[in-house]
């Protein structure tokens, strides 16, 4: 059984799904959550539940300024072994810090695999908790974020991280203007 909750936030509605005490999905909006759950858990029943396993309270605490509130949330991410390695490494990037895709690839011992790290980052099913927003381009540009670059920018500012560059790039690498 997947327990589903939705909370209001400065980033819009956040929908979460949990089971067996673990966060399985966190998405911006019910429709995105529904698509993710249909792909990962097609036959698992769902039930609306307020604050399943205390997870909604922890997400709210993070958004209210307790940046460590989500650090120890247990997760059920699924994914390939490589994706799981990337997601574990993301959880080790402290709030208020960023890392480039290439630097994370080098830290994982796969220096030439920055694009693969980016692809794994984009498949993260539990954003905020696995802080995919902390990865930036090698030139410090804010690059693709499934929830929208404005949310990535908000999260980084919320955590006190200040990327060096002010340009943003879409997932295709095109410049999309200033981030300020």
Contact 143, 102 (CB under 8 A): no
Nearest Cα residue to 19 out of 55, 43, 60: 55
Q: Environment class of residue 126 by beta-carbon count within 10 Å: exposed (0-12), middle (13-18) or buried (19+)?
A: buried
Active-site residue flag, 24: no
> Mean pLDDT across the stretch 128-142?
93
3-state secondary structure of 142: strand
Nearest-Å Rg of the Cα atoms of the chain is 16
Q: Environment class of residue 43 by beta-carbon count within 10 Å: exposed (0-12), middle (13-18) or buried (19+)?
A: exposed
At residue 177, the pLDDT reads: 35
For residue range 74-129, list pLDDT tens digits in order: 999 999 999 999 999 999 999 999 999 999 999 999 989 999 999 999 999 999 99
Contact 42, 26 (CB under 8 A): no
Q: Of all helices (H) and strands (E), which one includes residue 114?
A: helix 114-122
DSSP string, 4-50: EEEE--TTS-EEEEEETTEEEEEEESHHHHHHHHHHH-TT--EEE-S
Q: Environment class of residue 153 by beta-carbon count within 10 Å: exposed (0-12), middle (13-18) or buried (19+)?
A: middle
Q: Which of 16, 113, 132, 135 is catalytic?
A: 132
Q: Of all helices (H) and strands (E), which one includes residue 143?
A: strand 142-143
- Report the C-alpha gap between 97 and 107 in whole angstroms: 15
For residue range 11-68, list pLDDT tens digits in order: 999 999 999 999 999 999 999 999 999 999 999 999 999 999 999 999 999 999 999 9
- Report the C-alpha gap between 159 and 33 in whole angstroms: 24
The pTM of the full predicted model, rounded to 2 decimals, is: 0.88
Nearest Cα residue to 101 out of 121, 85, 82: 121
């Amino acid at each position: 059984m997947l327990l589903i909750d939705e909370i209001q936030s400065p980033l819009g509605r956040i929908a979460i799904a949990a089971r067996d005490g673990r966060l399985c999905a966190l998405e911006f909006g019910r429709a995105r959550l529904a698509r993710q759950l249909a792909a990962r858990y097609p036959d698992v029943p769902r039930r609306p539940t307020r604050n399943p396993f205390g997870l909604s309270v922890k997400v709210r605490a993070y958004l209210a300024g307790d940046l460590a509130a989500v650090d120890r949330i247990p997760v059920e991410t699924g994914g390939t072994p490589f994706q799981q390695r990337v997601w574990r490494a993301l959880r080790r990037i402290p709030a208020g810090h960023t890392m480039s895709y290439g630097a994370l690839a080098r830290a994982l011992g796969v220096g030439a695999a920055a694009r693969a790290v980016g692809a794994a980052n984009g498949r993260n099913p539990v954003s905020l908790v696995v802080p995919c927003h902390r990865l930036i381009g090698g030139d410090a540009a804010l690059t693709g974020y499934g929830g929208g670059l404005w949310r990535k920018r908000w999260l980084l500012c919320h955590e006190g991280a200040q990327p060096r560059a002010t340009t943003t790039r879409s997932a295709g690498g095109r410049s999309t203007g200033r981030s300020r």
